[in-house]
């Protein structure tokens, strides 16, 4: 069974069964809801802040792309693939904040294309991982319990949750922009 991974439904994920199929289906569904909030928008609209939050739709897509890319690298390479958040400087955090907004020269089409590419690589990882139980120690971060370990399965569930959370944010931002809703 193939699942669409883009708004235009041109890319599909490989067919698998069981738990991996469930993970792929959950990822595809949440990604769809997130991307759907950007339908028919201009680049300018995708970069607008429409609520008290500093978030915009294009920035949310960029952030989720970055998060998914980072956690997929963690599955393959372990904590060395991620920053040590306990050692980040103000400059590091300022640079990280750029992933939450549309920067000059960025386009919604470009942001969506990068997200689609990252999603495709993650889907391939879900299919090809030898063991979803393989785990790594979490990188240092104020929100990570010292010594905690996450399996590939736990990381993939985190990506689903992160995407779902930001799809909800995106829905509110889009409704504030022009009244359009993802559902209802």
Tens digit of pLDDT for each residue in 142-178? Answer: 889 989 999 999 999 999 999 999 999 999 999 999 9
181-171-2 Cα angle (round to 5): 85
Compute the mean pLDDT over every residue in the chain, rounded to the nearest whole number. Answer: 91
Report the predicted TM-score, pTM, of the whole model to 2 decimal places. Answer: 0.89
**E strand or H helix at 120:** helix 108-128
Q: Please give the Cα distance from 135 to 151 (Å, whole number).
A: 4
pLDDT reading at 140 higher than 90 = no
User: Virtual CA dihedral for 6, 10, 15, 20, nearest 10 degrees?
Assistant: -10
Give the span between the Cα atoms of 102 and 111, in whole angstroms.
9
Is it the case that residue 141 has pLDDT exceeding 60?
yes
Residue 46 in tokens: 């995708």
């Amino acid at each position: 069974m193939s699942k669409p991974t883009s708004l235009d439904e041109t890319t599909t994920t490989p067919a698998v069964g069981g738990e991996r199929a469930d993970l792929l289906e959950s990822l595809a569904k949440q990604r769809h809801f997130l991307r759907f909030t950007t339908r028919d928008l201009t680049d300018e609209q995708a970069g607008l802040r429409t609520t008290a939050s500093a978030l915009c739709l294009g920035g949310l897509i960029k952030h989720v792309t970055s998060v998914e890319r980072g956690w997929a690298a963690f599955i393959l390479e372990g904590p060395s693939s991620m920053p040590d958040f306990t050692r980040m400087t103000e400059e590091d955090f300022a640079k990280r904040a750029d992933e939450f907004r549309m920067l000059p020269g960025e386009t919604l089409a470009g942001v969506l294309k990068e997200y689609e590419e990252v999603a495709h690589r993650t889907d391939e990882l879900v299919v090809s991982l030898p063991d979803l139980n393989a785990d790594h120690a979490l990188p240092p971060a104020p929100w990570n319990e010292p010594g905690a370990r996450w399996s590939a399965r736990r990381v993939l569930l985190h990506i689903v949750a992160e995407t779902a959370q930001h799809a909800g944010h995106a829905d509110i931002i889009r409704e504030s922009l022009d009244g359009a809703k993802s559902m209802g």
